Amino acid sequence: MRTGGGVLLCLLAAALFTTVLCNNAAGPDDCCFEYYPRTISKKYITSYFMTDKRCPQPGVIFTTRKLKTFCVNQEEDWVQKVMNAVDKVSL
């Protein structure tokens, strides 16, 4: 009887663990929780993308030549200017 209870408990734990992993996999990959506080020159930025709409706050993620990423506030003027500059280069 003890063995059957132990097996049942292990199966229940595995099912709960699998459910938690599946829920975490469905969320967005990149979100901004803090914005980079300084400006970044457009000459260092090679690309950007917007964060997912499911993230707690909107943002833009800039990628530099050295493949570093920075999360910035999309409402700032300098961010809009850098995004426009990157868009012009990629055309």
CATH number at residue 84: 2.40.50.40
Over its length of 91 residues, how does the chain's per-residue pLDDT go in tens digits? 567 666 666 666 666 665 544 445 667 788 999 999 999 999 999 999 999 999 999 999 999 999 999 999 999 999 999 999 999 887 7
The answer to whether the CB of 39 falls within 8 A of the CB of 32 is no
Residue 45 falls inside a structural domain: yes
Residue 59 falls inside a structural domain: yes
Residue 16 falls inside a structural domain: no
pTM over 0.75: no
DSSP string across 25-69 = HTS-S---SS--SS---TTTEEEEEEPPTTSSS--EEEEETT--E
Residue 53 falls inside a structural domain: yes
Q: How many CB atoms lie within 10 A of CB 72?
A: 23
Containing domain of residue 48, as a range?
28-90
Residue 1 falls inside a structural domain: no
Angle at CA of residue 53, ends 52 and 56, nearest 5°: 95
- Structural domains in the chain (count): 1
